[in-house]
Structure 1
Amino acid sequence: MFSQSWPEVNHCRTRLRRAGKGASLLYLHGANGVPHVPAFLEKFTADWDVLVPEHPGFGESDDPDWLECMDDLAYFYLDWLDQLGIERLHAVGSSLGGWLTMELAIRQPQRFASLTLIGSAGLAPPPPGAEHNLFRWTPAQLVRNTFHDEAFVQAALATPPDAETAAKNRHTIARLGWHPRLHHPMLHKRLHRLTMPVFLAWGEEDRVLPVTQVPEFQRLLPHAETRTYPACGHLPQVEQQAAFTQDLLRFLRSV
């Protein structure tokens, strides 16, 4: 059972769900927020202290005026970890959260025991054109382009977020990733600092950030373990939950 708290850092309260015991495992969500704890994380609470925060500007967390770019969010989370007394951790980041994970780890690499990047933004822009531009999609198009399996599409469409939360999330993702679109042009120069174990997971049918981005990650992180998931869109932890969970458990235990 995940407990809920509201730590306040830099005059910003964030919603935090937490469960388990052991080494710290931090999950950083993507542009859709984290209205519920992702189901796959239940498998990790026996051996890890699992933390699932909601980023500033998303969901029920505060929407601070000072949040203007990914740098602001990265430094906020380093202060947040300090306040919670977490000195060493494993980080799992999905999409926008993968980008955030890299930004945190290049600043304080000694703090991170491992990184897991799921369909990560940050390193390279999506292909040009509306086909891969989430800022030009309607909410329904975003759902359809997130998942490959129609069953997941229909389930997500049947339970949309409330309009206020959806608008808040869209505003924040625009602040963080509008221009340049969903990447940091200088990030590639800094990835040599990520010498800790890295697991890279990607859906082969990802239409948000296509699997064609994987070779650039492999070039810059040659020690990374990579797994692509067939018949899977942008969220392997959802569409291929069993396979992804098994892979992540094995990776973390090997670390």
Structure 2
Amino acid sequence: MGFEESYIQLNGCRIRMRRGGKGQAVLYLHGANGAMQVQPFMNELAKDFDLLVPEHPGFGYSDEPDWLENIQDLAYFYLDFLKEQKLDTVHVIGSSLGGWLAMEMAIREPSRFKSLVLVGTAGVRVPNILPGDIFLWSPEQMVRNTFFDQAIAEKMLATPPTTAEEQDAQLKNRHTVAKLAWQPRLFDPFLAKWLHRIDMPVKLIWGENDKIMPPAVGRMLAELLPQASLQTYENCGHLPQVERASEFSAVVKKFIEEA
């Protein structure tokens, strides 16, 4: 399934977007590592849905606008993006930072969302349980702690970015993640009290061996979100969509179709 690449100008910021497939619109919001390439699970989802995969402002090949100061700025940008794309209602898949972003959007304009899939999402804090401190880990530690399957980690470590453009994009990603999530670490202290506004169906997907966002976060969100169900994968880390791509895609397809 082919994806078309385009650039969209909005609010003084140009972002890169890939779009592929037909059917119900599904917006994928990436995490801290960005969306540099089309992943196998994206190709799978594009067989059944119109999948939009933008790179957030401040990430990858998108612009780094002066107005971007926090995750709330990003949420308002994407609400404007949905309006500009004439997407009155949409399903959203958010991974990690992208899941946090999805919740910030949904508490503000819940009527725009048919469903949410939140994968190892940041955004809330469980008392006495800290997330992995991604700002202190070395690049190698970050890769190894992202995956349970170290064969995947070894493959990624063996193929580092080679061009100056790719290296610059990774540096930009890290800078923007620090701007959005450095203090407080990976959560919004005011988000939890508004989660009751997310009244659409929510599927929480977690790896049981997630070293970045502990599974306890998923269990807490399952209690706080009115229509949430939690699915976990054994022997899986922070990115089930990568480590369990086929299973992940099947679960997400079924959930969206039922929602």
TM-score interval, smaller chain: over 0.9
Corresponding residue of 1:228: 232
TM-score, normalized by length of structure 2? 0.94
Where do residues 130-169 of structure 1 align in structure 2 (5 Å cutoff)?
Answer: 132-161=132-161, 162-169=166-173
Corresponding residue of 2:13: 12
Mapped partners of 1:108, 1:36: distance in 2: 29
Aligned mate of 1:210, from 201, 214, 232: 214
Where do residues 83-162 of structure 1 align in structure 2 (5 Å cutoff)?
Answer: 83-124=84-125, 127-128=129-130, 132-161=132-161, 162=166
Residue 245 in 1 paired to residue 249 in 2?
yes
Corresponding residue of 1:254: 258
Mapped partners of 1:47, 1:153: distance in 2: 30
CA displacement, residues 93-144 of structure 1 (integer Å, 9 cap, x when unaligned): 000000000011111100000000000000116944xx82000011111001
User: Alpha-carbon deviation of 1:44?
Assistant: 2.2
Q: Could you tell me which amino acid in structure 2 is paired with residue 136 of structure 1?
A: L
Corresponding residue of 2:36: 35
Identity of aligned residues (%): 51
User: Alpha-carbon deviation of 1:18?
Assistant: 0.2
User: Alpha-carbon deviation of 1:163?
Assistant: 2.6
TM-score, normalized by length of structure 1? 0.96
Mapped partners of 1:77, 1:222: distance in 2: 23
Corresponding residue of 1:172: 176
Secondary structure in structure 2 of the residue aligned to 1:14: strand
The alignment yields a C-alpha RMSD, in angstroms, of: 1.3
Corresponding residue of 1:46: 47
Structure 2 unaligned runs (5+)?
none
